[in-house]
A = this chain, B = another copy of it.
Amino acid sequence: MDNFTFYSPTCFVFGRDTESQAGALVRRFGGSRVLIHYGGGSAVRSGLIGRVEASLKAEGLPCFLLGGVRPNPRSGLVYEGIELCKKENIDFILAVGGGSAIDSAKAIAAGTVYDGDFWDFYSGKRIENALPVGTVLTIAAAGSEGSPDSVITREDGMFKRGASGDAIRPKFSILNPALTQTLPPYQTAAGITDIMAHLYERYLTNTREVEVTDRLIEALLLTMIHEGPRVIEDPDNYDARANIMWAGMMAHNNSCGVGRSQDWNSHNIEHELSALYDCAHGAGLAVTLPAVFTYVMNHDIMRFAKVAVRVWGCQMDFDHPEVTAREGIEKLRRFFISIGMPRNFEELGAREEDIPVLVKALCRGDGRPGSISGFVTLDEADCEKIYRLML
């Protein structure tokens, strides 16, 4: 196991009606003038934004609203939020929504206290300072509610890039599984896929002797395999929603990924898809993961056999472990299809003729060196082959 530091000082308030604690939590974590940052009209129409606003007002906290965050959140709104925060002397940002609203809020939080262009953080500069951020989560997926990460799409060039830093870990996150019950099934399934991708990205490691984190990741994958279909079958199943919501946080706050190298090639490969086609990140991952795994499987057959046996219940073929490894990948692929995710480029709305554009943006865009690295290093030729596996 590698040396590591794990520091996750987010206060998670979990369960029914917990959004009513938003005001008290903002006050507890030092906020006095609050930006409520959210996405589309559904959070307004459902009354959630009104309830959160009421909770803040009950604490005497002035609040300012900035909606309009879209999936694959854009840099334009981040610049707008930074302006607003500076103008109104805002000192706390409360994201109400899913990963997009939270990631956009984190970008605004970092950008407001930074003299330069916030995009510097998405080009490799570590975030050292930010306004405090809190969240009211409405979709179990991105894990941004417990992570130090944010992903934003730059409109100039449509690059989708990530930034990181302990300063943008939320001070608190309110997780009410009931808020996710109104999600359309496609969004729920995309969230399930994203959570499972976060687990696989950590599972694919080159570090030896990491049984504890292997087992924890497997535990969360098993949970998703059990609870995912239940919630697709019955969207009102609060308990299934609750299990998925906690799994989604644990999948990405890194308690299960410490002390080991991780992959993240699949995320990078997918990011170009959602940047170009504006598809749901989870849907893109459902097409990407099986392709990437098929391509890199030979790098460590036993690791893919292990997840096949322990998570997917495959029988180990001791004479031909590659058969077991492949069976596990196939079970993953079929699982995604079974919950309603797309299976290929066509179903995703992607086009074969764009592959050169995708490969170039992935491997050379925004200063990249012609390859991406993780579990294995993939150059342009590899990435082209992987995109072709998705056809």
Contact = CB atoms under 8 A, between A and B. Distances in A.
Interface of A: 1-16, 18, 177, 208-213, 215-216, 218-220, 222-223, 226-227, 239-240, 242-244, 246-247, 250, 255, 258-259
Contacts of A247: 212
Given A1-B15, A212-B219, 13 more contacts: A14-B259, A15-B259, A209-B239, A209-B242, A209-B243, A210-B243, A211-B226, A212-B223, A212-B250, A215-B220, A216-B250, A219-B219, A246-B258
A272 to B, nearest CB: 32
User: What number of copies of this chain does the assembly contain?
Assistant: 2
Contacts of A177: 1
Contact of A242 (B1, B216, B227): B1
Most B Cβ at <10 Å: residue of A11, A208, A215, A255: A215
> Among the interface residues A3, A10, A16, which one has the most CB atoms of the partner chain B within 10 A?
A3
11 contacts: A1-B177, A1-B239, A1-B242, A1-B243, A1-B246, A8-B9, A211-B226, A211-B243, A212-B223, A212-B244, A216-B220
A10 B255 CA distance: 12
A255 B12 CA distance: 10
A12 B8 CA distance: 9
A13 B259 CA distance: 11
Contacts of A227: 211-212
Nearest to A218: B219
Contact of A222 (B3, B215, B243): B215
A5 B219 CA distance: 22
A220 B226 contact: no
